[in-house]
Amino acid sequence: MAANRVVLILGAGPRVGASVAEKFASNGYKVAVASRSGTGAKAANGFLSIKADFAKPDSIPGVFDAVKAEFNTSPSVVIYNAASLTPPPDKDSIFSIPVESVTSDLNINTISPYVAAQQAVSGWETLPKETKKTFIYTGNILNVGVIPVPLMLDLGMGKSASAYWLGLADTTYSARGYRFFYADERQKDGKSKGAELDGAAHADFFAQLADHEGNVPWHATFAKDKGYVQFK
């Protein structure tokens, strides 16, 4: 195992983010987690806690600077786990959502992860060639299907846009050994998991993706206890 491997998790919620952090720590990674409640210091578990506002894409480079300052290396694995949506004031009209809210949610769902990917690639160029480099975005089924609920507007817009640039990034950078994944947990019949995401299933699958195991494509649909499944 390469020494001093670092994972940066942007959006460290209590379910997926926390499970993924613990999994990577158990696999020997140094862990940095960025969230709105970040403290700027190491927590009792040894994780570096960084305060971040994903609605402000220009704040993302500072997160990477903090990781490099603490661990003296760039993260080889970057996981974007933040997401946002705004309920429409008129629950039956997508066009009742204020433009300012749509913009803020797109920053969180699409622009900030894009900036994070820029920073990741810049850092990867400084790492040893044999180190596996991986960017993982926590997605959902909204990039391939329209759920006819106005509440899903901002989330669906952001996930769909991000899926496109992630696929293009993986296609154009995979020859360098840089992998980009849109990870989407499904039920075993291929239906959406909705809000019933399984933290441990994400942790196991993300660890597999970070090791570049199984020839998984960029559109990485998976199910608990099965790993990658190519759903139609």
Return the DSSP state at 8: E
Output the CA–CA distances (angstroms, integers) from residue 102 to 55, 112, 141, 177, in the order listed.
Answer: 11, 14, 20, 35
Backbone phi, psi, residue 58, to 5°? -70, -5
Euclidean distance between the first and final Cα of the chain, in Å? 36
Distance, in Å, from the CA atom of 94 to the CA atom of 137, rounded to the nearest integer, reads: 25
Residue 102: other Cβ atoms inside 10 A: 17
Residues in the chain: 232
Distance, in Å, from the CA atom of 39 to the CA atom of 51, rounded to the nearest integer, reads: 6
Q: Is 192 left (phi over 0), alpha (psi -120 to 50) or beta?
A: beta
**Surface-to-core class of residue 98, CB atoms within 10 Å of its CB (0-12 exposed, 13-18 middle, 19+ buried):** exposed
Residues 204, 206, 207: CA angle, nearest 5 degrees: 65
129 is catalytic: no
Catalytic residue among 23, 30, 133, 159: 159
Catalytic residues: 159
